[in-house]
Amino acid sequence: MSDVIRKDPRKNWILRNRLHPLHEQVVAEMNGPAAVVRGPSGLIRKNPHAVGFIGPNGIKRIDRLGGSGSAAASAKREQQEEQLPIIAIEQPQSYVVVVVDAANGELSAHDRDVLGQARLLADGRAENTAVVALVFGALKAALGEAANPDHAFGLAGADRVMLFDDECYAGFAPEQQLEAMLAVDRQLSPVNWLFPDTHLSGNDRALRLAARLGERPAMHAWQIKDGKVTSRGGSEMTDITRDLAAATAPRILALASECALPVDEARYEARLLPLPSVPNAMVRIKDAGAVAVDPNQIAMGEAEFILSAGNGIHDWDQFHATAAALGATEGASRVAVDNGFMPRFRQVGATGTWVTARVYIAVGISGAVQHLQGIGSCEKVIAINTDAGCDMVKRADLSVIGDSQEILAALKARAEQGAVAVSEPQQGKADGESNHNVA
């Protein structure tokens, strides 16, 4: 057998395909020694020569995102989460209740911050105190995180979960939800009620509960420190600080996002609690469903679904038409803005807007570090690019390798087909019934 080193096309293909189940294994095989090893003395040592990996074209690459986008890496993360020790509180003597928004059936980043704050309050008490996550409406089947729906709540810091998922609690149902909160208040007498301070959910619920109980809540609270809660008041001009140990301390708190760090490196039990019996409310408000809004009127920082354009877009009319068909908010790379194809306020990145979309589709964007900084908090990133080795493809959870024009044409056609298929059965609905954006 000759000594000539030959390329293995299959291995090369697996190397290029970060989503292939054998990708990590082949990368390890091709790269030799591990970057982090335990030395003979037992100390962990870094091998600087082993950092990075050799890409399919023979060039050494460093994965700055730690391979966080790959399927193997997310499986590893899930495995690590499974291995976290479960902290259980058997006989709670008191409770801190968090009414999570769980909009779209999933915990939001704001929900996690508030659960993190609840954890601090509960753990700071002398008696055994459990954090209860109270949820209205159905949850996504797997909460997008693991097969067990309690899993996400456990990782977010909840000892107990109360799931009011009957139809009557779904959507905007403030009267029935208030009855449920009053029933929980009678059953658990929580030391604190915490809400994410969001307009139509947490803020509204906190005010209704406080009004019915005749208590003075702390709204727009952004910090709890040294036994004091600080709220923003006076038209956002002044801070109001109240002592949490005082007899008149607020029990009901509506908290701003980033009020505390979300729980990390611990897993709680998230045991489902039986629900109290809840009297039927006299319902005067009916939720008529979501109303379609122009996605381009949504502020970039708040947009949940962004179709973003870069230098790889060659037909701008097609890009705008596709964004409209998908119902996506438009974003852009700096090059697209500098070249005059998109307005400056659409720029995503370090010197543009930092976005937090649930889905971010980057079309013809290479993934420069300044752009990646702006999408660090996006939940799912999809790359459409001709270059399978570009940094955006490495960052993405899903990549489509090909010409942007062809893929956008297919995407637009599929979106229009989908919209027709979904909207047809709705024809003939009575006025006042739900009007969901089907795009």
Ligand X SMILES: Cc1cc2nc3c(=O)[nH]c(=O)nc-3n(C[C@H](O)[C@H](O)[C@H](O)COP(=O)(O)OP(=O)(O)OC[C@H]3O[C@@H](n4cnc5c(N)ncnc54)[C@H](O)[C@@H]3O)c2cc1C
What residue ranges bind ligand X (CB under 6 A)? 310-312, 314, 333-336, 347-352, 364-366, 368, 370-371, 374, 384-387, 390, 403-404
Tell me the CA distances in angstroms from 299 to 338, 348, 353, one per residue in order: 20, 12, 10
171: left (phi over 0), alpha (psi -120 to 50) or beta: left
Least Å distance, CB 366 to ligand X, is 3
Lookup: tokens for 373: 């900084």
> Closest CB to ligand X among 69 and 374?
374
Residue 217 or 364 with smaller CB distance to ligand X: 364
**CB closer to ligand X, 14 vs 363:** 363
Give the shortest CB-402-to-ligand X separation in angstroms: 7
Least CB distance to ligand X at residue 337 (A) = 8
Q: Residue 23 or residue 334: which is nearer to ligand X going by CB?
A: 334
The residue (of 183 and 388) whose beta carbon lies closer to ligand X is: 388
In this structure, how many other beta carbons lie within 10 angstroms of the beta carbon of residue 409?
15
First to last CA, the chain: 60
Q: In the structure encoding, which two tokens stand for residue 142, read together?
A: 């797997």
Minimum distance from residue 39 beta carbon to ligand X (Å): 39
Smallest gap, in angstroms, from Cβ of residue 322 to ligand X? 13
Q: How far is the CB of 101 from ligand X (least distance, A)?
A: 30
Residue 415 CB, shortest distance to ligand X, in Å, is: 19
Overall residue count recorded for the chain in this entry: 439
Q: Which is nearer to ligand X, 124 or 402 (CB)?
A: 402
When the beta carbons of 114 and 332 are compared against ligand X, the nearer one is 332
| Rounded least distance, CB 365 to ligand X, Å | 4
Q: Are 348 and 331 in contact (CB under 8 A)?
A: yes
Max CA separation in the chain (angstroms):
87
Q: How far is the CB of 179 from ligand X (least distance, A)?
A: 48
Closer CB to ligand X, residue 26 or residue 384?
384
CA atoms within 13 A on the CB side of 435: 7
Q: Rank residues 31 and 373 by Cβ distance to ligand X and give the closer one.
A: 373
By the 8 A CB rule, do 270 and 154 touch? yes
